[in-house]
Each structure stands twice: as structure tokens, then as C-alpha cells.
Amino acid sequence: MTNPLLGIKSSDGGFPRFNEIGPKHFLPAIERLVKECRELTMQTLKGTQPPSWESLFAPIEEINDRLEQAWAVVSHLNGVINSPEVRDAHGKCLPILTDYSTWVGQLKPLFNACLELKKSDQFSQLSTAQTKVVENQLRDFKLAGVNLSDEGQKHYAKIKKRLAELSTEFSNNILDASESFSRHLESADQLAGLPPSSLSAAKILAESKGLDGYLITLDIPSYLPVMQYCQNRELREELYYAYVTRASELGPNAGQWDNSAIMEEILKLRQELAILLGYKNYAELSMATKMASSVSEAISFIESLAEASVDIAKTEYGELAMFAKNELDISSMKAWDVPFVSEALRLDRYDLSQEAPRPYFPADTVIAGMFQVVHRLYDIDISLQKAPSQWHDEVRFYEIKSSNKTIAFFYLDLFAREGKRSGAWMADARVRREDSSGCTQLPVAFLTCNFTPPLEDKPALLTHNEVATLFHEFGHGLHHMLTSMDRSAVSGINGVAWDAVELPSQFMENWCWEAEALQLYSGHYQTSEPLPTELLNKMLAARNFLSGMQMVRQLELALFDLELHENYGSDNWLGIQQTLSSVRAKVSAHEVPDFNRFQHAFGHIFAGGYAAGYYSYKWAEVLSADAFSLFEENGIFDRETGQRFLSEILAKGGSEEPAVLFNRFRGRAPDTAALLRHSGIAG
């Protein structure tokens, strides 16, 4: 029987047959596709004299497309149905892919052909996107060690392979440590204060395990409501301790899935890699593909925001502590009290709980309204379709049309479940590109969230924070799907500087706070009544509640990440825990317990793409706020402004530098003023 991973391009309209794909297919497909890619690459190089776009880049793009589509499926399934079999099969593919990526990056004949094309007269005749592809490729060759000695290249390959293994192990440890913990409670009295929806979810979860009473886990839809609303302080402390010690030498499963040694080895290998490539440290290496010109510029950016925020954050924390003492009889507020006290103060100050808007945000209503928002902005239409195949019954499949022409598709996987990686993300299933026959391959995206599923007689109801999460990930999806680029290396999010890739996602969140937009995607699940003006006004009044504390928390993580990767191996190196403690002393609003091991589950930098780049969230938030300020001036649904954002930002993908694209859209360089204003930190 044909391996279903090998037929993605031509079968079922190019969509994966998830009902037929299993772990047994992963390794054989990846092995075969990598072998074909190697052979076809060498064949292409033999016939490339002199090199041209048509003879070199176009066929190599075609060669790699099938592999990229197959791996997108394998990688996605590892995130959404992480069974032992899937995990094992995924892990066996990693070294093969890493070897191939390193081989391509160090293939001197390919590098020389690209260099020859860059120096030829033909280069000036290429399109803007094509020239960017060539320039990026030459940069990436150098970052892959193409100019290293044979011994250096072997060392590079060894490092890359080991880093891929360690990142996967780090991520698996977080998942295992999280899923290993649960707290069974027999009485609802032990969960006093918990919202009815969360209590029902805990009861249903217990029943699914054959238990009476209630079950709480470390999945955010289960964990967070307890921390925010449960009056049982001992339970909050127990859960907090379990959560912040995940995958560490401490906690309920102390040492069992400990990421301590993995983090140390990752940092050591990254530093070796940087030195090998001629950089002082990994942070400096990271900046080679960022908007920020240097590590010092990124750190200065974070410090400038800290200067505006830290005093405000400390004042906010002092107000929380005073409220806890005077109103809640908590004489000494601890870390596990902060979410609980925060919600109590929010209710006292604004007569608003984060649970209050939930009935007005049924998932289906929010999704439909979100589609209306982007229709008004970009004149696109989105409709639910029958999925060709899906990995879970809850998965939805949508088609995007522009001027009645299909331009993209996406899968939406909304709800938390066992074996699914926590958090929310967008991943590309297929990139837009022009294939060898001259036809346009349409982009396909995976959009994944971890919301609370429907409960008994109620539909899935979202908090406003979850609405913002959905809009955020959809913004990433639009960046991928609304591109007009036909070259895969700069299509969608490909080729976009990492500190600009969050611009479209954070940009979409702005519509979560606009009355005109909220009317489109809110509606009480029983009456369909839109979000009442009174409730909206309370939400707007509370929008910047504790925004200083939220700001410095992100700055803490960004600065920790940068200092970690800049100072490792130098005279300034303090160690991982000590670096985090030092950063907290500079920018945090309050102390955290000594047992806190947040870094052991910091997947963004140890298992994701944000190493020495977590500052990107704040960097892109400046771009987002400043871009949205033009809509504030012209109208949040101004079609002309929307079309400008579409044509200058979303459609262009990575074909030009982000600073150039932003300047073209906004008419000037970005300014931090809009972000500080939106955050309530400056007027």
C-alpha cells in the first residue's frame, strides 16, 4: 500500500489523509523523501550552467516542497496527538531531517551557484521577491557553516543534530510532567469560589477517569480558574507549586522529567555553534536574522520599556498586597495568591470578573464574528467546509475566498484534551507557491488552541482573554494565507525576521477591544444578546488593570533570554537560575518563591524558535500598536487602510525587510508611544 504521507501533493486536492496516516508511516516517508531531495538536488546542480532562477531556485523549491508538506503533518500530529508511538516515530525522523538540512546548508556547489547568480547580470532582472530569496539563501549558507573546514562542518552537523534531540526531549518532559499531575477532590466545598462552568468541567474530567467528585489538572483551562477564583488557599499553593516546578528537580515528580541538564547542554551547544560561525555568543548569532541590528539594541529596547513600567508595576503590586491584607485577610500575599487577589480587586474596583463576559462569547459566535471582522478589513469570505480528513472529530476545516476565488484553507483545532501540547499556535501545512506547471499552490494552515470544550448543555464559552488568543493565532494564519508571494522561501511567514513575525498576530488583537467589532462576535449563548454596553464599558475601564505588572513580566522573560544567550561562557555568566534572579531584581514587580523553576518549562526558548529572540513579542507589539493607530485615525473598519495593511504587510510575506514594509504602510518609522498609550503606561 502507498504510504499516505507520500501522496499529499496529488491526493484529495492536496490535503493529508489523516484517517490513513499513522506513526508507522512517518519514518519511511521522511527517509524516502529526503533521499529523493538529495538526489534531485545533485541532478539539478549538474544541469545548471550558468545558474539562473529557472534552472536553480525553481527546481530546488519544487524538490523540497513534498518533504516540507510531509514533515508539516508529522510535526503537527506530534503536537496534537502526542501518543508514545507518535512521539517515538517523530523522534526517529529528527536526525534524518537535521542531517539533510545541514547537508544542504553546507553544499558548496549549491552555494557557489547561488553566488554566481547573485553576481550575474541576470540578478538585476529578478523580481524583488526573487532577489530576497537569493540574498537570504546566501546568508543562510554562511549561518550553516558553508565556509567552515571539513572538520568544522562535521562539528556543526553534530551540534545541530544534538540540539534537535534536546529540544524535543525538553518539550516532551514538560508534557509528561504536566500530565502526570492531577488533584482529585471529593467535595465541591474544597473548590468554593470556582465558577460553575469550571466546576462542571472538573466534574466531567473526574467522570472521564472513572472518579467521583472533581479533578483538577495543570492544563490551563483547569488550572487557571482555580488560581483565580478558588478560596481554598492551600489548594492554590499546591497547584502553584506543581505548576512552577514542572520538569525540574523539585515538585511532585521531582527529578523524573528534569530539564536542568538539558538546558545546560542546549546553552553549551548554542555557544559552541556561535563561536564556530565566528560570533561572540548565540545572542549575537541570533541577531543575524532579526530586525534589531545588535544585542545591545534589543536590550536597550527592553530597558527603555522597563524604565517606563517598573515603578508602575511595583505600585500595582503594592495595591494588591494592601487589598489582600485589608479585604481578604491575607496578611502576607504569596505568589499563589496573586491571581486570586487580582481577580478580587478587579471585581471590587470595576465590578467585573473575567468570567462575567464568558456567556457572551460562545466559540461559534466568536469565530463567525471574527470572520466578519476580516471580511470588512480585507474583503475576504470564509466558510466552513467538510474536512477531507481530520485527526480528531472536533477539528473544523475552512475555505477562504477573495472575489469568489479560493485562495487558502485552514484547519481549526480549538479544545484542550489529553495528549495535546498546551498553548496555542499556528503552523503552515502547505505554503503558497507557483509549481513547475505554472499553477499556484494554495496555502493551508493549522490553527491550534486549548480552550475548555462544550460542557453538558452549554456550548464552548470563551473568556475575553481566550477571544484575544484566537484572534492572535488567526492573525498569524492570515499572514500565512493572504500572502501574494509565489516563492515559498518568502511566502507567508517564511523569510520574515523573527522580531516582526508577531506583528500580524498582535495587530489582530486590537479588534478585541473595539465596541464596533465586539458587536460582531459577541452574543449571549442563550439569548443571542450582544455584549451589553454596561459590561463593555467595565471591560474597557479594566483593560489596563495591572498592565504594568503584565508588561514587566514580559520584559523579565525577554531580558532573561537575551542575557542567558549573551553571557553564557563569559566572565559575566551567573548560571541559569542566578541569571533569572538577577533579571527579576532589575525589572520584576515582586519576588517569587525560591522553588520557582519557570525556566524548566520555558519552551519558547528551549524548544521553540525564540532563543535570544523572545524580545520579539514586545518589539512586534510596538509595530502592532503603531500600525493600529492608523486605524484609530481613519476608522477601525476603514477599507482603504485595511487594504493597505493587506497589500503592504500581509501580502508581502518575507519578500522585503519588515522595516521597509512598515514604513511604507505607516509612512514613517515605528514609535513606542502607541504601545505605552494602549497599555495605560503613558498618556
Residues 591/334, Cβ–Cβ less than 8 Å: no
Residues 64/44, Cβ–Cβ less than 8 Å: no
Beta-carbon contacts of 114 under 8 Å, excluding residues fewer than 6 positions away, are 51, 56, 134, 137, 138, 141
HSE-CB of 72 using CA atoms within 13 angstroms? 23
Residues 559/299, Cβ–Cβ less than 8 Å: yes
Cell 491575607 locates to 330
Please state at what angle helix 338-350 crosses helix 220-229, rounded to 10 degrees: 60
Type of residue numbered 207: E
CA distances from 576 to 255, 268, 281, 569, 598 (A): 17, 12, 16, 12, 11
CA distance 91 to 100: 15
What is the residue-wise DSSP string for 369-397?
Answer: HHHHHHHHHH-EEEEEE--S--SSTT-EE
CA distances from 74 to 21, 26, 51, 390, 633 (A): 9, 7, 34, 13, 45
The beta-carbon contacts of 150-154 under 8 Å, at least 24 apart in sequence, are 152/276, 153/102, 153/106
Which residues, listed in sequence order, are joined to residue 430 by a DSSP beta bridge?
444
Type of residue numbered 441: Q
Ranges assigned E (strand) in 48-140: none
| Kind plus residue range of the DSSP H or E element containing 137 | helix 128-143
Beta-carbon contacts of 650 under 8 Å, excluding residues fewer than 6 positions away, are 378, 478, 479, 482, 483, 504
CA distances from 28 to 60, 429, 541 (A): 22, 20, 57
CA distance 34 to 266: 26
Beta-carbon contacts of 200 under 8 Å, excluding residues fewer than 6 positions away, are 455, 456, 458
**Catalytic residue IDs:** 473
